[in-house]
Structures are given as C-alpha cells and as structure tokens.
Structure 1
Amino acid sequence: MNDHHKTFIAFVKLGHFLREFVTLETPNDEWSQKLEDAIALSKHKNGWFTRENVIHALESWGQLLTEEKLSDWLKSYDLDKNKPKKVALIMAGNIPLVGFHDFMSVLITGNKVLAKLSSNDNTLILFIKDYLVSIEPFLKDTIEISDGKMEGFDAVIATGSNNTSRYFEHYFSKVPNIIRKNRNSIAVLTGRESKEQINALGEDIFRYYGLGCRSVSKVFVPENYDFATLFEAVYSYHPIIEHVKYANNYDYNKAVYLMSEFKILDNGFLILKDDKSYSSPIASLFYERYDSLDNLKERLSQDTNELQCIVGEGVIDSEIAFGNTQQPSLTDYADNVDTVDFLLRT
C-alpha cells in the first residue's frame, strides 16, 4: 500500500470515528475521551465554540469523510502528478475546523503541512493530527505545527482579512500561493418563499453565530417585502440570545444604531438594518431592497469576488438551497479556487 492510499484510508477511518463519536452519550474509549477534552478546551479558549457548534462541525466532516465521497472528490485528479512539497498553511479560526479542508487537501495529495494555527481554533486541529498519526505513524513526519517564523516551504495557502491579505501577498509573493480575503454570503428573497424555507434560512444566518464566510450576513428583498414574515419564521432561533457573547454584541450594536439614529427593525435577538454593505456585525442582518431581479443579478455578478454563497430558489445558477450554506461538499472550495488542482500544479 503506497503512502497516497495510506493517507486516504486514515481520513476514511477519521470519518468513521467522527460519525460514531457524535452519536455517543458518554465517551467509550481513549480517543473519544480525548476528543471530549479537546471540545471542552476549545470552548475554554474561544467562547464562540459551544459544544453544539463544535459537534455540528464534527458531524458535518464525519458525513463527508467516507470512502465513497472521498473517492468521488479525488477521481477527477491525477495524484501521481504531484511533486512532493511543503505547504505552509495560515489558518483562520472564526468557526470550528475552518481550515480542515486545506489541511486534508495538502496531506491527501502527498504533500507536507507546515501549519500556523489560529489561537482561536488550535485544539481541534491538534487532536485530529494526533488521531491521524495514531492510525498512520508515517504522517508524523508530514505534519509540522509552527509557533514562530515559517521557513522552508514551497507554497502557501493563507486565510485572513482584507487587511492581512495585503501583508500575505507581499510576504509570500515569491512562492506559489492562494491568499484568501474576507467574503460574505447573502440570500435573495422574492417573497414567494415558504415559512419552512425562511426558517431554514435561520440556520444559514445563526449557525456559528454568523461568524463564518458561509454565514448569511445580508438579504436582498423586493420593494414591498414584509419583514414580519421573516421575523415570524426565524423566531425558533431566539434562544441564541441566551449566549452571553452574542447578547453582548446584540446590545452593543443595537445601542450604536439607535444612537446614530439609523432606522432598524428588531425582534429581541436579531437586528435588521438597511445597508449597502455585505458584512454585517454579529446579531445584525443587513438588508437591501431591489427593483428588479435582472439588475440585482448584474450587481451580484460584478461583486462575485466579495461573495461566498448566494442562497435562493430560482434566482441564479450557482445558488444554494435555504439552510444548506453550512453543509458544503468536498468540492465547494473556498473562494471557488480549486485547492487540489493548485497543489498538483505547483
């Protein structure tokens, strides 16, 4: 069995472990207990990483890491073309395991990882590293975690803000790179959506407290849209206000808007604000009215580099169904840049 296949099988076994873990009421072996400890520590380090949200991330990856889905993902690539290299990963930490796809892509193509983890999400990735090495000890030499200056790498995949991306582009200009910037996700409503669809949109808005690039931060609505429909349909998500960090952001942003005399709509746990921007603060959802879908489509096509997901039904070809933004497939590459193709060509 070659190293490619060994790595593939290690990720299949990781998927099996994660699927079993999320069904457990109590840990029943050493690795389950270690993951429980990692979940608890991740929440201690980052208050946004509630157990519910971490379990959601683990469950999502567990569903993807099957032999069938991994094979389907990789079958269109010729992994034998890969030239072994060390790839520096600068990982984000906004939602649990947000950098895992890059981490897996580097290893499964036969390359080495040099990772700088975000302090907001280092515990879970370290657990996964240890678990994979326990299955395939040779992987120990293919995964390096950097605490200081990163050196000796052949390519870079870096995720950050629009500000840090300028630094990344300068600092890593001499090696092949993927530099990711801020992106946001939106929904386009027509007013014909069912209550079930709008309720599902709540998952896209509130999952991970809206901190992900796949979280819907803005809705486009027709001129005469009645927001009472939206507020009623998403009311089941109101327990989110019981989370202290979310409540603090809600109170702060509401106070800022009121003092600035902005016109807002508010239901006690979500603030709606008319705003041209795509990026809304936590506990806020921006909205903008459109006069025609054709004009809106034109604008969205011009702004494609700012957008990660567009939720809707019958609006654009690449739309995502309501409630599905936080369930990406293995081929849903961040910023629509094919990471595996980049790694094999570099």
Structure 2
Amino acid sequence: MKHLDKKINAFLKLGKYLRKKQIDSKLHSLILKTQNNNRWFIYKNSLNALKIWGDSLRKENILKWSSKYNLAYKNNKKIGIIMAGNIPMVGFHDLMCLLFSNHIGIIKTSSSDPFLIPFLYNKLVEFEPELAERVIFKKKIDFVDAIIATGNNISIKNINEKFHSYPSILRGTRSSIAILNGKESEEDLKLLSNDILTYFGFGCRSITKIYVPYKYDFTLLKKILKEKSEAITLIEYLNNFKKIKAINEIIKNNFHVAGKLIIIESKNINAEISSINYEHYSSIDLINKEIESRINSIQCIVGNVNKVNFLKFGEAQKPNLWDYADNIDTVEFLLSL
C-alpha cells in the first residue's frame, strides 16, 4: 500500500531527525520556549522525551507495530484528541495512531505542552505532504465523531459528561509500581531511580510506590536515590520536598530521606511529587492479589520477576509503540469507528 509506505517513510525521517546528535536551532528554541511556558518541563526532560521518540521511530519498530492492523483507506471521521500535559510529548502517540488510521484529528494540546507536538506534525508534513490538513489544532473541541482524552480523574469526569454519548477512550489517573526482592544489583537500583525521577515523578509511568520484603535494607537504595535527586535544583520541586518532609514529621509517619526524595510507608499507590511510597510484603502471592485488586489504577509494574506484564528496571519511561496507555489499543479503537 503506497499510502502506508509514505506514512512509514515520513515517521522514519522524523525518527532520524530526532536522533541527530545536534538538534537544529528551531527545535532548540522550541524546547526553551516550552521550559519558559512550564517550569516543570526543563530542557533536559523535553530533550529526553524527543530522543526516546527518535529511538522508537525505527523501521523495525514501526513495521512490528503497524503490521498487525488493516490500515487500508476507509471513511474519514473527525476524532477529537484532548492531550495531557504532565510530561513532555505525552500526546504524540495518539497523534501517530490517528495519522496511520486515516481519520481527521481535531487536537487540543495541553497548555503545559503546546509547542512541540504541532512542530513535529509540521515536520511530518514537510517529509510527506499528503499528511497536510489531516490535523487541526484548536483550543476547544466540538463537532467530532469520537473522542480520545487523557487527564486526571476530575478532568476526565468533566469530559465524560460533555461527550458521554460519543465513542471514546478516556484515560484518568494511573500510577506505576516496582516490586523489589532485596537482591537487586546496584545497576538495577540506578535504573529504578530513572523510573522514579526522570520527570520529577509526573506521568502515569513514573514509579510512585515500591513493595519491599520485611526487614528490607534501604541503605543502597537511599544512597542511589540521594545521588540522583541531589541534582534537582527546580525550586517548585524543592518547595514540595520541604512541605512533604515537614508534614510527615508532624504526623510522625515512618519515612526515609534519600537526598531530595521522601520514601514514605503507605498503602497508597499515588504519591506526592518529591516522594514515593513503600509497603512491606510477606509473599509474592499476596502482592499478586494486591495488583489484581488495583489493576485499573496501575499503568506499569517493574521488577526482576519473570512475568509477561512486568518491565525490567529502567524501562518504565521508554514505552514501545505497541505499549498502549491503560492497555487500550488506540489503533483498534480508531479502526472500529
């Protein structure tokens, strides 16, 4: 299918563009503009997200992902996409799914991340002019045939009330967890520190809770997290760290301090920025039951466990093209319309 080959080639060219050792001046300026617009989106994190996309957009990955679908031309429908803005570029996968499914996208980017995704779409049009006029970026979405939205539980509730009669994918708040057995290597824990701190703890793929055996020795983990977190200088993060530490001292919670990160004993999966939660476990069977009971609140599970749904340490922030948020296949949804 020539139209599919053209799309694949456009994304391959985009991947090559993003993998360049030296980014061009326009992209550099947009990353700075993004940082000025949202101080949590520091230059390093936006660049990291772009490089991850560059690595994902390789021929073997795109072919593996796209080959499972029948992507022949069909009737175009208007798809509203409301993108989240908790980490840089988080809505780009929805855009990619849309372009491969041949629908028209009416896209509302987050006010936290309004520059990079439109820029990359324009790059795709530069590489393949047939992709022009497939996407319209708007501040408000109306008159669509279906909706895809990502946000926190409150915003998703509001979106559901407005679009309740439309075919939809609505993604609310989720968190990710890690299961430790106490036998992890120093390298394992360094990779885990990336899963925890890469985007300051924002995003559903950031590890916000760890399960540890009783009598777990936190010494090495605290040392590694201290080394990783000490590099953080963002004042908003540091203010949050001071607040969380003070609150837990006042209410006399059990917690550990690892540099600029608080590790709090809690049954909650969600954690405040600048903190993660931990809980002791006595058996893997009990952990499995815990996971099953909270499966709709969990995005990723990390650990040295030989199970299909477990990720290796360091992989949480590097999803494959076929790793769908909330395990809902976006392309299948779009092709079903």
Matched, 1:321 2:312: yes
- 8 Å CA contact retained: 2:197, 2:229: no
Per-residue deviation, 1:299:
1.3
Structure 2 match to 1:159: 150
In structure 1, distance between residues paired with 2:210 and 2:250: 24
**Structure 1 residue ranges, 4+ long, deviating more than 6 angstroms after superposition:** none
Gaps of 5+ in 1: none
Which stretch shows the higher mean deviation, 175-184 or 254-263?
254-263
Describe how 1:175-324 pairs up with structure 2 within 5 A: 175-314=166-305, 316-324=307-315
User: What CA deviation, in whole Å up to 9, does each residue of 1:306-334 have, x standing for no partner?
Assistant: 00000111264310001110111001000
Residue 337 (structure 1) shift: 0.4
How far residue 133 of structure 1 moved from its aligned partner, in angstroms, is: 2.2
Deviation, structure 1 residue 81: 6.5
Q: Structure 2 counterpart of 1:330, which letter?
A: L
- Retained in 1: the 8 A contact 2:227–2:259? no
> Any idea what SS the aligned residue of 2:19 has?
helix
Query: In the alignment, which of 101, 109, 112 is matched to residue 117 of structure 1?
Result: 109
1:60 corresponds to 2:59: no
Contact 1:91 1:158 survives alignment (8 Å): yes
Matched, 1:86 2:78: yes
The answer to whether residue 19 in structure 2 is matched with residue 19 in structure 1 is yes
> How many Å apart are 1:70 and its aligned residue?
0.8
Residues 223, 258 of structure 2: 8 Å contact kept:
no
| Cα shift readout 1:31-79 (whole Å, capped 9, x = no counterpart) | x221111101000001111111111111110011122211111101111
Deviations along 1:121-179, one digit per CA (max 9) or x if unpaired, are 1111121122122223332311101123x222111100011112222222212221000
CA distance in 1, matches of 2:11, 2:135: 14
State the alpha-carbon separation in 1 of the partners of residues 309 and 74 from structure 2.
30
What are structure 2's unaligned runs of at least 5 residues? none
Aligned residues: 337
For residues 103 and 85 of structure 2, the distance between their equivalents in structure 1, rounded to whole angstroms, comes to 23
Partner SS state of residue 199, structure 2: helix
Is 1:340 the equivalent of 2:335?
no
The 1-side partners of 2:271 and 2:336 are apart by 37
- Could you tell me the TM-score, scaled by structure 2's length? 0.96
Structure 1 counterpart of 2:13, which letter? Answer: K
Contact 2:19/2:54 (<8 A) preserved = yes
| 1:61 aligned counterpart, secondary structure | helix
- Percent of aligned pairs with the same residue? 38
Counterparts of 1:332 and 1:341, CA distance in 2: 13
Which has a greater percent of helix? Answer: 1
The match for 1:5 is 5
TM-score, normalization by structure 1: 0.93
Distance 1:153 1:133, change over 3 A: same
Residue 164 of structure 2 corresponds to residue 142 of structure 1: no
* Aligned equivalent of 1:72: 64
